[in-house]
Structure 1
Amino acid sequence: MDVFCGIDWAEDHHDIAVVDRDGQLLARRRISDDAAGLTALLGLLAGHGDSADDPVPVAIETPRGLLTACLRATGRQVYPVNPMATARYRDRHSAAGRKSDHGDAVVLANILRTDMHAHRPLPADSELAQAIAVLARAQQDAVWDRVTAHNKLRSHLREYFPAFLAAFAGVRDGITRPEARVILTAAPTPAEAAKLTLAQLRTLLKKAGRSRGTDAEAARLRDAFRAAQMRQLPLVEQAMGRQALALLRQFDAACASADDLEAAAVESFNQHPDAGIITSFPGLGALTGARVLAETGDDRSRFTDANGLKAYAGAAPITRASGKTRSVTRRKVKNDRLAAVGYVWAFCALTASPGARAHYDRRKDAGDRHAAAQRNLFGRLLGCLHHCLATGQHYDEAIAFPTPTATPAAA
């Protein structure tokens, strides 16, 4: 490749720089962030040798956005470069610390010219894999939002209505249960909750979908709400009840979003050819499998070996050595989403796979703490997944975790 393109990304415009192999600036332009700007960019690249058989590679500071998606659709290699890395490269060209949008575009083009081998292009994932990534990541964000909304609501209830928390403390899922949310909507303050009759509580429980044990549960809740408790001043209590309803609406919306996105992600994942292989692994279901596929993709050339995938997921340790000093620590720079689902995957595999449990126990016996042993197990499972996807095989417990053969005793 003799021509390289750098794009300094902005919200409403982009600066373009095209350089040759010798670092000479061939063209520069500022384009708008619309279809006309994309047409101008493609025309500029075509004027410098861009073709379908030999597309010009592009470096840009973001892996997202319409411009990046459209450039990927042309079949060219798109290299997302972290802005912090761009800043370090900028210091190679100017000691004065100057900065400009055009200058950054030139720096990005020169990064490809000199260090293309050190950067990873965006994978050539299929359209279905990209759609699964959107849904799985959105669902994971919705789950995190749901946790945040739950914590806010719980913290607020502790300030004026601890009896409500106590009433659902011993119940599975606590205040996230549908009946808890329905009752809180009907009676957001201790005064209103204490006035609820058995008939009203039974009606609310049935409205929330409960069909068994409604009489006993209604009696238990009535006694809990009418028990003596500390109270805020009446007007303050009413105001805090209104705030609780607002927080409850946010929590309900987060729950609905997470459930809706989960159904969409699972539906799309089940249509993917790799779904059967991924879910054949112990500890991986449709939703967690969708999250794994979302972060690893289906481009087989993305990771040449399992070690690259493990490093990407944060399951491979980092070794730092200088002179006589040597340390091995966990990897902090990683794909946080894949690392998060890896923790769940490894934890579930402990009960679903005897081999995984034995591997975890061996690491613990060797001195690893729980997190380190689980991270090591996650790396082992990732290596197996990489092999199975590359060869088209389903998971086999006997191959993944072979039973160690006993060494015969010496005569």
Structure 2
Amino acid sequence: MSIDQFAAHIGLDWADKKHDVCIQFKNGERRFEVIQHIPESLDTWLNTLHKQVNGRIAVALELKKGPIVYALQKYPFITVFPVHALSLARYRQAFSPSGAKDDPQDAELALDLMLRYPEKIKTIEPSTGELRLLQQLVEQRRLLVEDKRRFVNRLINTLKQYYPQPLEWFSHRDSGLFLDLIAKWPSLQLLKRARANTIRRFLNSKGGPAVKHTESRIEHIRNALPLTTDQYVIEANMLLAVTQVKQIKLVVESIKVYDVRIDELFKTLPDADIFKSLPGIGPCMGPRMLAALGDNRNRFNSAEEIQNYAGIAPVTERSGQKSWVHWRWQCSKFVRQTFVEWAAKTVHTSYWAGIYYQGQRSKGKSHQSAIRALAFKWIRIIYRCWKTKCCYDEAKYLKALKERDSPLLKT
């Protein structure tokens, strides 16, 4: 969409409670305003401006998502141009070497970037409603997983203060059996008062592989000695441990609710089969991969664009006779995490991926470097499948490697 098609252009510097805006009209006139972040205020201001200019309005701001973006997207006459925050900061520094931030000035700079470099700033093109929902759900689920990990680490630290034995008896510190044990017997003293048969029935109640460890755990409980006998230390940490167990259980249940909804939604999307065909994808990674690429085939025009967007492609800098390569900082961290975590799974589920990983390791690369290199290679395959709407076929890809006499199959 040409930038000249708009009746007015706006640079917006957002905040929680108010937004500074710089409006440029067709005649070149500029006007600064401050809009309160209240739905009614935004609605009145936008509709009044729309009637005044009688045409579409372009808005530049340093966000791709968030409350103000969602608010603007409900108006059909608004087109949002997201400006990268680092680009805006560097542009500001070009005029103010001190780097001092000023909200009205930032609004004007965002406007200038949109007007001067329209080919560099792509409009936000919303995906289908179902895909936007999936994108939010998978990111929110990941936040809950991080919360669970944080709560589990806190519980481990609390138990180390007065009751470290369960950490030796159980390797999975977020399992239902482990959490129920801490909730039922939050101290070694209370656990040792229980009868052996009571503990045995409890440990066997969940069934599964844990049953084979029941007798050895009972023996450990019988011989265990308390780390401390200070009742004040024990009482305080008991209360904290039980509280943390409740937090973990609540987060685990919430994650299960998200899993059900994500799975239901993922199955209804037309591109789901493409990502289901990938090796080692699983019920968690499939929706995340689909959410990362989206359903707009014009969003990425090459695999390199995805590699850069995901932060998998390294950055090469050159100055004079020097050249160095470093980690890409400006990228979507969640998308990078998605590709790297999935690539690690393919080492054991894809024949060529396992060979490629071992080849990287034999060159002296660390595990993480080898996985990132594998993710870089996978993105080219995924891009082709996504662009052509074809499912991945391992046998077909191995045949293609053989026909090209790929050195990968000779290692």
Does structure 1 retain, via aligned residues, the 8 Å contact 2:11–2:59?
Answer: yes
1:4 is matched with which residue: 5, 9, 13?
9
Which secondary structure does the structure 1 equivalent of 2:31 belong to?
strand
Does structure 2 retain, via aligned residues, the 8 Å contact 1:346–1:378?
Answer: yes
Q: Is 1:221 matched up with 2:221? A: no
1:371 is matched with which residue: 348, 368, 372?
368
Match of 1:185?
183
Partner deviation per Cα, 1:333-379 (whole Å, 9 max, x = no partner) = 22111121222211111121112223333434455433222212212
Tell me the C-alpha RMSD between the 2 structures. 2.6
Identity of aligned residues (%): 24
Q: CA deviation at 1:266?
A: 1.9
Closer, same or farther: CA 278–48 of 1 in aligned 2, 3 Å: farther
Cα distance in 1 for partners of 2:96, 2:313 equals: 36
Match of 1:161?
163
Closer, same or farther: CA 258–204 of 1 in aligned 2, 3 Å: same
Q: How do 1:376-395 and structure 2 match up within 5 A?
A: 376-395=373-392
Does structure 1 retain, via aligned residues, the 8 Å contact 2:204–2:210?
Answer: no
Show structure 2 runs of 5+ residues with no match.
407-411
Letter in 1 for 2:63: T
Letter in 2 for 1:204: F
Number of residue pairs matched? 397
Q: Is 1:152 matched up with 2:154? A: yes
Q: CA deviation at 1:290?
A: 1.1
Partner deviation per Cα, 1:6-47 (whole Å, 9 max, x = no partner) = 11111122222212578x443332222233223234225424
Does structure 1 retain, via aligned residues, the 8 Å contact 2:17–2:36?
Answer: yes
Match of 1:197?
195
Q: Is 1:33 matched up with 2:37? A: yes
Does structure 2 retain, via aligned residues, the 8 Å contact 1:9–1:15?
Answer: yes
Closer, same or farther: CA 332–219 of 1 in aligned 2, 3 Å: same
Cα distance in 2 for partners of 1:286, 1:212 equals: 23
Q: CA deviation at 1:114?
A: 1.0
2:21 is matched with which residue: 16, 23, 36?
16
Closer, same or farther: CA 94–166 of 1 in aligned 2, 3 Å: closer
Which secondary structure does the structure 2 equivalent of 1:334 belong to?
coil
Q: CA deviation at 1:200?
A: 2.2
Partner deviation per Cα, 1:238-271 (whole Å, 9 max, x = no partner) = 2211111112112212222222222222221121
Closer, same or farther: CA 227–120 of 1 in aligned 2, 3 Å: farther
Closer, same or farther: CA 7–261 of 1 in aligned 2, 3 Å: same
Partner deviation per Cα, 1:306-327 (whole Å, 9 max, x = no partner) = 1100111122121111111112
Q: How do 1:274-285 and structure 2 match up within 5 A?
A: 274-285=271-282
Partner deviation per Cα, 1:254-313 (whole Å, 9 max, x = no partner) = 222222222222221121111110111112123111112223222222111111001111
Closer, same or farther: CA 217–325 of 1 in aligned 2, 3 Å: closer
Closer, same or farther: CA 205–15 of 1 in aligned 2, 3 Å: same
Match of 1:128?
130
Cα distance in 2 for partners of 1:141, 1:323 equals: 44
Which secondary structure does the structure 1 equivalent of 2:124 belong to?
coil
Moved more, 24-33 or 95-104: 95-104
Match of 1:297?
294
2:46 is matched with which residue: 42, 49, 55?
42
Q: Structure 2 length as normaliser, TM-score?
A: 0.87
Letter in 2 for 1:186: K
Letter in 2 for 1:383: R
Cα distance in 1 for partners of 2:209, 2:317 equals: 60
Q: CA deviation at 1:113?
A: 0.7
Does structure 2 retain, via aligned residues, the 8 Å contact 1:19–1:106?
Answer: no
Show structure 1 runs of 5+ residues with no match.
none
Moved more, 159-168 or 137-146: 159-168
Letter in 1 for 2:115: R
Q: Is 1:248 matched up with 2:252? A: no
Does structure 1 retain, via aligned residues, the 8 Å contact 2:189–2:226?
Answer: no
Letter in 1 for 2:245: L
Cα distance in 2 for partners of 1:298, 1:212 equals: 42
Q: CA deviation at 1:204?
A: 2.9
Closer, same or farther: CA 219–206 of 1 in aligned 2, 3 Å: closer
Match of 2:110?
108
Q: CA deviation at 1:205?
A: 3.6
Does structure 2 retain, via aligned residues, the 8 Å contact 1:31–1:40?
Answer: no
Which secondary structure does the structure 2 equivalent of 1:176 belong to?
coil
Q: CA deviation at 1:388?
A: 1.3
Closer, same or farther: CA 41–361 of 1 in aligned 2, 3 Å: farther
